């Protein structure tokens, strides 16, 4: 990854500069990042600054401390061996012998991937050019995590201080046998990425289950209707009581509730706990027959069957001289 100071934009180069050494029967390709200054025709010179460098994941992602990643990212590939002592210290800190650290360091530095296309692909080729029998690449199905863990912690290359058998629990495998999707048979061969989270069980009841509105009634429930409302300040105040329950009867999920009072107004609190009795007051401007309609939706969007209640609001006409 590079930064162009002229345009002040970060540019990710998908195509790296490839230098080929052609001679005899050897067909070796060294893959590094470009260090040249690219000058587009008709534009001011563009200077690229290296801001991220990743050759072999075992080097920077495992053996180099996170605090030093920025410095490593700015190091030119041919100078990466300056970090060899740090990688060696990481390996020996787990009781592995210095000889193993030197062996790994000798093949991992400089941190440049080399592929000899005259060789057949060999497992563990990603680990190093040397340990792959001179091929240097790796097959998509190779378990790079297990290979890296086994190289450092197992008896694969050195028995002294080994923590586990190669590619075995508890430390030399991530216990994942294969990619979760099959690789393609044509370019670019990699499996399509996951684009969505897997479906999870609904914690609030059976799939597609909707909440339920229970017990809608006037308060106090003096019934039968009509409801005699008290007049206060020229308005008629009534209350209705109800509760919303989840499919599993729990109270852990808030619901969106709307009470339509039938007079052109409604009450919609932000969040209502499940299985909690609710008391909703309302002032009607005048006596009459009103249909109260309650709806509820849970956080998954499942809607309860609406419930209605017909109110006949009656009461003595207020004395305008006493209205406040």
In a domain, 298, yes or no: yes
* Residue 10 domain-assigned (yes or no): yes
Residue 306 has pLDDT above 80, yes or no: yes
Residue 143 lies in a domain: yes
Taking each continuous run of H as one helix and of E as one strand, the counts in the chain are: 5, 16
- Residues 215-253: tens digit of each pLDDT: 888 876 544 345 555 545 557 788 888 888 876 555 556
279: in domain: yes
The 8-class DSSP code of residue 217 comes to: E
Work out the average pLDDT over 314-321. Answer: 54
> What's the average model confidence in pLDDT over 93-111?
89
- Give the pLDDT band (50/70/90) at residue 272: confident
Domain range for 218 is: 212-314
Beta strand residue intervals within 75-196, DSSP E? 113-116
Write out pLDDT tens, residues 124-167.
555 655 555 666 666 777 787 788 888 889 998 899 999 999 88
| Highest mean pLDDT pick, 42-51, 75-84, 110-119 | 75-84
Q: Which residue has the higher pLDDT, 10 or 203?
A: 203
CATH of the domain at 219: 2.60.40.10
Indicate whether 46 pLDDT > 70: yes
pLDDT at 275 over 70: yes
- Which of 153, 185, 203 is the endpoint of a domain? 153
Strand partners, 311: 290
Considering the domain architecture, whether residues 113 and 234 belong to the same structural domain is answered as no
**pLDDT for 44 beyond 90:** no
- Shared domain for 142 and 278, answered yes or no, is no
Express as a percent the part of the chain with pLDDT over 70. Answer: 67
Residue 289 lies in a domain: yes
How do residues 182-227 score in pLDDT, each as one tens digit?
888 898 888 887 765 555 555 545 545 778 888 888 876 544 345 5
Q: Which residue has the higher pLDDT, 132 or 94?
A: 94
The answer to whether residues 241 and 149 belong to one domain is no
Across 34-46, average pLDDT: 61
**Are 129 and 233 in the same domain?**
no
- Cβ distance 296 to 259 under 8 Å? no
Last-in-domain residue among 153, 184, 200:
153
Q: Same structural domain for residues 69 and 139?
A: yes
Lowest mean pLDDT among 3-7, 15-19, 96-100, 189-193: 15-19
Residues 126 and 243 in one domain: no
The pLDDT value recorded for residue 222 is 45
Q: Could you tell me the pLDDT band of residue 316, with boundaries at 50, 70 and 90?
A: low
Task: Write out the DSSP string of 110-178.
Answer: S--EEEETTSPP-TTTTT-TTTTTT-----TTS-HHHHHHHHHHBSSS--TT--B-TT-TTTS--S--S
Sorted by sequence, the CB contacts under 8 Å of residue 268 that are 6+ apart come out as 256, 257, 258, 259
pLDDT > 90? residue 88: yes
Residue 173 lies in a domain: no
Same domain assignment for residues 26 and 145: yes
Q: Look at residues 126, 153, 180 and tell me which one is the last residue of a structural domain.
A: 153
Task: Say if residue 146 is in the same domain as residue 237.
Answer: no
Q: Are residues 138 and 40 in the same domain?
A: yes
Which pLDDT belongs to residue 41?
59
Domain membership of residue 196 (yes or no) is: no
Per-residue confidence (pLDDT) for residue 39, from 0 to 100: 55
Looking at the structure, do residues 141 and 217 belong to the same domain, yes or no?
Answer: no
**265 has a pLDDT exceeding 80:** yes
Q: Using CA atoms, how far apart are residues 61 and 145, in angstroms rounded to an integer?
A: 11
Place of tokens 């009509």: 226
Q: Which of 88-102, 131-145, 187-201, 284-298 has the highest mean pLDDT?
A: 88-102
Give how many domains the chain has, as a whole number.
2
Same domain, 270 and 129: no
What's the pLDDT score for residue 182? 86
Mean pLDDT over the full length of the chain: 73
pLDDT at 233: 52
Specify whether 6 is located in the same domain as 107: yes
Q: Is residue 320 part of a domain?
A: no
């Amino acid at each position: 990854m590079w930064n162009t100071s002229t345009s002040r934009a970060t540019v990710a180069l998908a195509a790296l500069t490839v230098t080929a050494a052609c001679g005899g029967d050897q067909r070796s390709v060294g893959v590094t990042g470009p260090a040249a200054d690219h000058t587009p025709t008709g534009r001011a010179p563009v200077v690229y600054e290296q801001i991220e460098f990743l050759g072999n994941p075992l080097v920077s992602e495992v053996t180099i401390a996170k605090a030093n990643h920025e410095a490593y990212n700015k190091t030119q590939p041919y100078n990466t061996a300056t970090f060899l002592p740090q990688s060696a210290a990481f390996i020996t800190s787990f009781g592995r012998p210095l000889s193993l650290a030197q062996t790994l360091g000798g093949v991992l530095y400089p941190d440049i991937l080399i592929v000899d296309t005259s060789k057949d692909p060999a497992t563990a080729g990603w680990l190093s050019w040397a340990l792959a029998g001179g091929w240097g690449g790796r097959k998509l199905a190779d378990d790079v995590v297990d290979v890296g863990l086994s190289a450092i912690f197992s008896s694969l290359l050195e028995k002294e201080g080994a923590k586990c058998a190669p590619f075995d629990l508890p430390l030399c495998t991530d216990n994942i046998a294969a990619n979760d999707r099959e690789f393609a048979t044509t370019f670019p061969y990699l499996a399509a990425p996951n684009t969505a989270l897997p479906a999870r069980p609904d914690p609030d009841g059976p799939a597609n289950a909707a909440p339920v509105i229970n017990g809608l009634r006037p308060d106090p429930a003096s019934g039968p209707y009509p409801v005699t409302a008290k007049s206060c300040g020229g308005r008629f105040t009534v209350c209705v009581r109800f509760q919303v329950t989840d499919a599993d009867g729990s109270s852990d999920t808030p619901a969106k509730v709307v009470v339509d009072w039938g007079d052109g107004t409604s009450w919609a609190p932000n969040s209502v706990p499940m299985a909690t009795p609710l008391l909703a007051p309302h002032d009607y401007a005048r006596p009459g027959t009103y249909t109260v309609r309650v709806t509820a939706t849970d956080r998954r969007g499942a809607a309860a069957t609406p419930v209605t209640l017909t109110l006949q609001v009656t009461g003595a006409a207020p004395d305008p001289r006493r209205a406040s």
